[in-house]
Structure 1
Amino acid sequence: MRVTPTPKLAWALGILYAPIFIALLIGFGGDYDEIGNSADNFFSAVVIPMGILTVAIVALTTWLGWWRPVISDDRPTPRWMLAVPIVMAIGIAGSIAVDLGRTSDLDTSFLLWLTIGTLLIGFCEEMVYRGLTIVGFRSGHREVRVWLFTTLLFAVLHLWNLAAGQGLMGTIQQFGYTFVLGSVYYVIRRSTGTILIPILIHAGWDWTGFASGSEAFSSEAAASSASDGAGSGVAIFAAVIAVILCLIGARKLFTDETPSVMANATA
């Protein structure tokens, strides 16, 4: 590794990511409440900023020399906790199926940019908050603090959406549920032994979130039917089950209470 991981570096990476993203979003004309309403909005507000951040994160991780500990996780985790990513994947797949079935006149360009954009979001946010910061914090903190600090930083990231036009109450609610979701993503990394699965689950979750609230997925028939919003409901139900599983297994995740001191970083 070119750079030795430290908790201070983890704090810096986790804190700086948020204002950089919001600056890019605002710079390219993005309004948070309008992001999902058209292909052009989504492209300018998500795909371009996240594309820039993807290149930057890849370059940074390469320069740091942290790819191996970022991608892989060899911390012992109960095998049954693989149920967490499985439940989330099933729920998200069902949600996507419901959303796609809500309209027969879907803008294919919006679908394309939605898919690319949410994959980029999943990659960037997981690389930072379940990758780089985990590597940094593990160099000097017990695992329970690694989970707490990385998940808290992930939740704080979403408070910055206020600057992009999101309402106050919506932002406060988002802070709460992103802390919970961040905990689920952490467990998924631990249980699967790789950051790749959290990236895909995160992307799928955001896909359903944008789709369920998007005008692009609404037709006159769908808007007045019980199916409107049902897609996100399927994913939320799966997330509730996943959270319960995480709580049941939480004690097992933090049985090793000694600082790792670069256990992963030097592997």
Structure 2
Amino acid sequence: MTTSRAEHAWKRFWEKGGWWRALVLVVVYFVLYQALSLAFTPLATQIDDPSSAAGVLVFYVLPILVGCLLVIGFAASVGWLGELFSRQPITGRGWMWIAVAVVLVFNILRFASTDYADIGFDVVATWLLAGLLIGFAEEVLTRGLVVTLLRKAGYRELIVAVISAAVFAGLHAGNLLSGQNLVATLFQLVYTFAFGICMYLAMRVTGTIIAPILLHASTDPSIFLQVAYPVEGPIAAFAAFGNPAVIVTGLVLLVFIRGRVGEPAPEAAAVYR
């Protein structure tokens, strides 16, 4: 009986939603993720080449697998797994496909300008696995759990998009802890905020969180592989504009976001949502 009451109180607490509950969730996730990832330190000390398949496995795949388990565990504990992966409660508009197209095109260009002969199948495969896990953990956390908490509190979708993207960007400030310099981190925060807006729009226009998960899953590997193993040429030169293009796209499209879950769209304003 006591356990049942505790479970009910836990679910009732999170069902109220709100920005501060979203922030608490993300902070706890970040702390647990960082702490639990320390378990792989003994393995990391055995890695001679961090860019090898074994290095990618230890430094990226195993830690982010912990992140996946954390978000799944939380979603299951509050009974939201089905809700997260069901159809979106608010529809998208045609202009939102711009965000999907920009991210996808530059991911393809980066993959197309990568020197696979110099990498090896094992490294590519491990990076693709890492990308899938990164996409799952970060999207389910920010576009799934955070968005759900904000919508349950009745916020308008513009606020939902901004806060979820800001939280997503804030997670990457943790790269300062790994020695990344301040200027690079600040640029990354701007990029990840805009990227977060694009992922929110991808979820809205496709109606499912699977779309941003897969888009995100192809983004990180395409960036890391192309930077480490580039093929010089016009495709690579054009691919270099990927990050600025995402920043401009996300920030410009942000101003057109309208609506609220459960709110009918006025006919005159429908084209702007």
- Do both proteins adopt the same fold according to a TM-score greater than 0.5, normalized to the shorter chain? yes
Cα distance, 1:89 vs structure 2: 2.0
Q: 1:94 and 2:101 equivalent?
A: no
Which range moves more in the overlay, 134-143 or 64-73? 64-73
CA–CA distance in structure 2, aligned partners of residues 21 and 152 of structure 1: 19
Correspondence for 1:43 among 57, 74, 78? 57
Partner of 1:246: 253
Residue pair 1:134, 1:150 contacting (<8 A) in 2 also: yes
Provide the TM-score with structure 2 as the length reference: 0.78
Q: Pick the structure with greater CA Rg.
A: 2
Counterpart check, 1:184 vs 2:198: yes
Point out the more displaced range, 125-134 or 102-111.
102-111
Q: CA deviation at 1:103?
A: 4.2
Counterpart of 1:154 (choices 168, 172, 189) is 168
What's the CA shift for 1:189?
Answer: 0.9
Report percent identity of matched pairs: 25
Change in CA separation of 1:138 and 1:24 when aligned onto 2, cut-off 3 Å: same
Question: Which SS does the other structure have where 1:41 is aligned?
Answer: helix
- CA gap of 1:36–1:143, structure 2 versus 1, over 3 A, is farther
Given the superposition, is the C-alpha separation of residues 231 and 205 from structure 1 closer, same or farther in structure 2, using an over 3 Å criterion? Answer: farther
Q: SS of the counterpart of 2:117?
A: coil
CA distance 1:195–1:143, change in 2 (3 Å): same
Q: Distance in 2 between matches of 1:80 and 1:177?
A: 21
Q: Deviations over 1:199-246 (max 9, x none)?
A: 0111111111211232xx26xxx5xx4579648526447636743772
Query: Aligned partners of 2:27 and 2:239: how far apart in 1?
Result: 29
2:70 alignment counterpart: 56
RMSD: 3.1
2:240 aligned counterpart, secondary structure: helix
Partners of 1:231 and 1:109 lie apart in 2 by 27
Task: Kindly indicate whether structure 1 or structure 2 has the higher relative contact order, using CA contacts under 8 Å at least 6 residues apart.
Answer: 1
Q: Which runs of 5+ in 1 are unaligned?
A: 261-267
- Three-state SS of the structure 2 residue aligned to 1:213 is helix
- Aligned pair count reads 246
AA aligned opposite 1:104: A
Q: 1:147 to 1:80 in 2, by over 3 A?
A: closer
1:22 to 11, 18, 34: 34
Question: Following the alignment from structure 2 to structure 1, what is the Cα–Cα distance between the partners of residues 173 and 91?
Answer: 33
In 2: Cα distance, 1:188 partner to 1:36 partner: 33
Aligned to 1:142: 156
| Letter paired with 1:105 | D
Does the residue aligned with 1:148 lie in a helix, a strand or coil?
Answer: helix
Q: Is the 8 A contact 2:61 2:133 kept in 1?
A: yes
Matches within 5 A, 1:1-267: 3-4=11-12, 5=15, 6-7=17-18, 8-29=20-41, 37-71=51-85, 72-99=87-114, 102-140=115-153, 141-214=155-228, 217=229, 222=231, 225-226=232-233, 230=237, 232-233=239-240, 235-236=242-243, 239=246, 242-243=249-250, 246-247=253-254, 250-251=255-256, 253-256=257-260
Q: Is the 8 A contact 1:154 1:179 kept in 2?
A: yes
Structure 2: where are the runs of 5+ without partners?
A: 1-6, 265-273
Paired amino acid for 2:90: R
| 1:46-98 deviations in Å (ceiling 9; x for gaps) | 10011122122222212211123322313132134224313422331232122
What's the secondary structure of 2:119's corresponding residue?
Answer: coil
Give the aligned residue type for 1:135: T
